[in-house]
Copies of this chain bind each other. A is one copy, B any other.
Amino acid sequence: MTFSYTTDKYDQFEKQAANYVPLSPLSFLPRTALMFADKTSVIYGTRRYSWSQTYERCKRLASALQKAGLQKHDTVAVMAANTPELVECHFGVPMAGGVLNTINVRLDASTIAYILNHGEARFLLTDTGFAPAVKEALAEIGRDDITVIDIIDTEAQIDGECLGRQDYEAFIAGGDADFDWQLPSDEWDPITLNYTSGTSGKPKGVVYHHRGSYLMSMGTVTDWNLPRHPSYLYTVPMFHCNGWGHAWTMTALAGTIICIRAITAEAIYALAHEHDITHFGGAPIVLGMIVNADEAVRKPLKHKVEVMTAGAPPPAAILEAVEALGFNVTQVYGLTETYGHTIMCSWNSDWDDLDFAKKADLKARQGAAMVHTDNMRIVSLETGEDVPADGQTMGEIWIRGNTIMKGYLKDKDATNATLSEGWLRSGDLGVMHQGGYMEVKDRLKDIIISGGENISSVEIESVLHRHPAVALAAVVARKDEKWGEVPCAFVELKDGASATEDEIITFCREHLAGFKRPKYVIFGTLPKTATGKIQKFELRNN
Contact = CB atoms under 8 A, between A and B. Distances in A.
Interface string A288-325: 00000000000000000000000000000000000000
A120 B6 contact: yes
Total copies of the chain: 2
B435 A18 contact: no
Contacts of A99: 10
Given A19-B406, A21-B374, A10 B346 contact: no
A154 interface: no
B31 A369 contact: yes
A16 interface: yes
Nearest to A14: B407
Interface in A400-426: 400-402, 404-407, 409-410, 412, 415, 419-420, 422-424
B17 A349 contact: no
Interface string A4-24: 011101111101111111010
Interface string A134-159: 00000000111100000000000000
B19 A424 contact: yes
A285 B20 CA distance: 34
A374 to B, nearest CB: 4
For the complex, would chain A's binding face be called helix, strand, loop or mixed by DSSP majority? loop
Contacts of A28: 371
Contacts of A437: 35
Interface stretch (A169-177, A195-203, A219-227, A524-532): A219-227
A348 interface: yes
A1 interface: yes
Nearest to A119: B9
Contacts of A219: 218
Contact of A405 (B2, B19, B223, B252): B19
A219 to B, nearest CB: 8
A286 to B, nearest CB: 25
Interface stretch (A36-44, A484-492, A498-506): A36-44
A243 interface: no
A225 B227 contact: yes
A29 to B, nearest CB: 11
A73 B225 contact: no
Contacts of A400: 17-19, 21
Nearest to A118: B9
Given A9-B73, A218-B219, A229-B349, 18 more contacts: A2-B144, A2-B145, A3-B120, A3-B145, A9-B409, A9-B410, A15-B188, A16-B419, A18-B419, A18-B420, A21-B401, A23-B215, A35-B348, A35-B435, A35-B436, A39-B350, A222-B222, A252-B371
